[in-house]
Structure 1
C-alpha cells in the first residue's frame, strides 16, 4: 500500500507580497491550470495515491484553507504541527499517523508547492521509487538532472548503480551538499554525477522510523511518547508538549546525510520549485519584450521584467530585469537577480512592526 505525505506548512516567503503568512505559496494559483499549487500536488498523484491515503502536514492556521481546497482528503488526514520544527519532526510525526491508519505502507513525501510538467513521467518515476523502497530498508529520493549551475538548490552526489528499472537507473547516494557557491555549482555540473535535491522522498514507514531511532534519538523518544497518546484525550496536549522541546532539523541533515542505504533516481519530468518571482518566466507566457505580465501594464522600453498587479495599472519606462509586484497594501520593486532577498525584506518588516503586511 502506498500513502503520501504532502508538506504544506511553509510560508512561501520569496513570493511576498503576493504570498502572505495567511496565504502562502501553496495556496496560490501560480500556473495556468487554475488550481492552487496544493491542489495540483494532490491531483497529480491520484493514479498512485488516492485522496483517502493522502496526508497533509501543516499548521493550525492553514487547516480550514486546506479543508476547503481539498474536500476529498479526510479531515483526520490533516496533521497539525503545533510549532515549526523543520522537516525531520514533520515527517516523524506524520509517520505515526500513517502507521496507525495504514500500517506497513510505503510513504511518499512531497512538498506542496512544486511544479511538475510531465505528470505521467512523474508517476512512472515515483512507482520505481516505491519499488526500490520496498526491497529493503532503503531511503529513496528523486534527484533532478541539473540544466545550469544553480546556487539555490542542494545537490546529491551519486555513485554506484544499484539497479535499472525499465531503463531508469537507481544509484547509491554518496553525499548531500547544501547550496553551493557558483564555482562549486559549475564543477558539479561539469562532473556529471550530481543532481539537484528535489526534497521528494520515498520509504517504508517502519524504515524511516528505524532511521530516526538510530540517528535522531531525541526525536524518536518524543515520537514514542506521542504514539502512546494517539487516539486518547491527551493526544493534542502531548503532541504540543513534545514538539515544543524539539530542535528544528531538516530531514536532509538529520537523516539523509548520516544514514546508509540511500538511493536516488534521476527525474526528467519538468520539475521546478518555483522558488522566487523569476521562476514565473519558466511557467507563464513571456511577451515579445521578454516580460511576464499579470494584470494591467503599459510600458516603454521595458524588457525582461516581471510585473504583477492586483488592482492598479502599472506603467514603466526604460526598465530591464526588474520585478514589480503590486498588491492592495504593499509594493515590491527589485532587481530580478536579487529576488531571493525578498525573504530578508519580510524580516525587516517584521522587525519594524509591519505585521499587517506579512
Structure 2
C-alpha cells in the first residue's frame, strides 16, 4: 500500500460553547491548550496523525471564520489544504466536500476523518488501529469507524452495537444509537457488544462517494456542480452550501449502509466535551484541584478546575469544592462542576442580554 494514497481530514468547525468562557465564537476550544500541554487541541491532533500521514496529505475543514487561525496554528500544512465552510451544515456536507476535493487530487485515496478536539492518551495503539483500518479499506468496500471500549455508562456519547465474530480485529456494525438515557446506557455496558462512537472514520474515496450517491443522492448532485481545486471552488461552495440539508454522517449514511465495520480500540480517549472531562484528564495538585496558574492560593478547597488566563493576576479561593472557576479577559465563570451541562444555557442567556454578544 503506497503511503501517499493515505489522507487525513481534521474536522475543526465547532464553536465549543460548553467551554465558555475560555472557548468563544471568535476563538473556539480546538485552538486552545485546554490541558496545559504546550500544544493546542488541533496541534495535538496534527502531531498525532502526522506520524502516519505526510503533512501535504493532511486537510483541515473548518468554518470560514477559523481558516486564518488554523493556518497560524498549523504552518506545516499547505495553506490550500485548510478549507473554510461558508455555513455550518453538520458532518455529511463537510465529508462529501472533502471526499470530492481529495478525489480530484487522487481517486485512489483512503481518508481518515477525525475531530480536532479529542484527547487520545494511547497514541501507539491509535496509530496501529488506524494503520489496520487503512489496510482494510484499501482492499475492501468498507466504511470503518473506531469504537472506544466504554469504561462507564455515559449518556453523553453515541454507541455502536457490533456483531461479535471470530475475527478479533474488526466487527460488522449492527446499530448506531445516539446519546441514550442512563438505564439504556447501563444495559449497553452489561451486554458487552457496545462501543462508544468516537467520530473517527476511515474509508476510501471510492467507497464513501458510492455511499453518498446511494443514500444522499440530492446532496451528491449539489456537490457535483463544483470544479474542485480550481479558482472557482470557493465561489461554487458559497452557492452550494445554503442549499444543502443539515444532516450528520451518522444519520445520513452510517445508520443506513450495510458495509459499516468497527475496530474496537482502547485509546485512553475523551472527547473533552465538558469542563468535568477536562478536570478528569488534567494534572491535579495535592488538594485535587486542577490549576493552570502559579498565582492561585486555595484554602479548604478541593476538586476544582481553575483556569486564570492572566498569569499576572492572583486568585484566592476559599471554601469551594467541586467547582469550575474560569477567568478570562472578558468573563468570569463560577459554577458547580455538576452543572457543566448548563453552560450552554448560560451562553444562550448571555446572547439575549443587550450587550451580551461582547462576551462571547
**TM-score, scaled to structure 1:** 0.95
Deviations 1:204-248 (A, max 9, x none): 01111111111111211111112xx33455322221111101111
Report the equivalent of 2:213: 213
Report the equivalent of 2:249: 251
Deviations 1:74-133 (A, max 9, x none): 111112211100110010001111111222110000100111112111100101111222
Structure 1 counterpart SS, 2:171: strand
- Contact 1:162/1:170 (<8 A) preserved: no
Report the equivalent of 2:162: 158
Report the equivalent of 2:32: 28
* 1:355 and 2:357 aligned: yes
Report the equivalent of 2:193: 193
For 1:82 and 1:250, how far apart are their aligned partners in 2? 17
1:271 to 269, 272, 277: 269
Deviation at 1:134, TM superposition (A): 2.1
- Contact 2:101/2:229 (<8 A) preserved: no
- Contact 1:139/1:203 (<8 A) preserved: yes
Structure 2 counterpart SS, 1:269: coil
Greater shift in the superposed pair: 339-348 or 206-215:
339-348
Report the equivalent of 1:284: 282
Deviations 1:46-74 (A, max 9, x none): 23211100010012211111111111111
Report the equivalent of 1:12: 16
Q: For residues 1-358 of structure 1, what are the structure 2 equivalents within 5 Å?
A: 1-161=5-165, 163-164=167-168, 169-226=169-226, 229-295=227-293, 296-311=295-310, 312-353=313-354, 354-358=356-360
Question: What is the root-mean-square deviation of aligned Cα atoms in Å?
Answer: 1.4
Structure 1 counterpart SS, 2:22: coil
Cα gap change, 1:220/1:355 in structure 2, threshold over 3 Å: closer, same or farther?
A: same
Structure 1 counterpart SS, 2:165: strand
Deviations 1:12-44 (A, max 9, x none): 111110111111111111234311111111111
Structure 2 counterpart SS, 1:137: coil
**TM-score, scaled to structure 2:** 0.94
Ranges in structure 2 where 5+ consecutive residues have no aligned partner: none
Cα gap change, 1:182/1:14 in structure 2, threshold over 3 Å: closer, same or farther?
A: same
Deviation at 1:162, TM superposition (A): 6.9
- Contact 1:329/1:357 (<8 A) preserved: yes
How many residue pairs get aligned? The number is 352
Ranges in structure 1 where 5+ consecutive residues have no aligned partner: none
Structure 1 counterpart SS, 2:326: strand
Greater shift in the superposed pair: 137-146 or 97-106:
97-106
Cα gap change, 1:163/1:331 in structure 2, threshold over 3 Å: closer, same or farther?
A: same
For 1:40 and 1:232, how far apart are their aligned partners in 2? 30
Cα gap change, 1:232/1:102 in structure 2, threshold over 3 Å: closer, same or farther?
A: closer
For 1:90 and 1:60, how far apart are their aligned partners in 2? 12
For 1:31 and 1:299, how far apart are their aligned partners in 2? 20
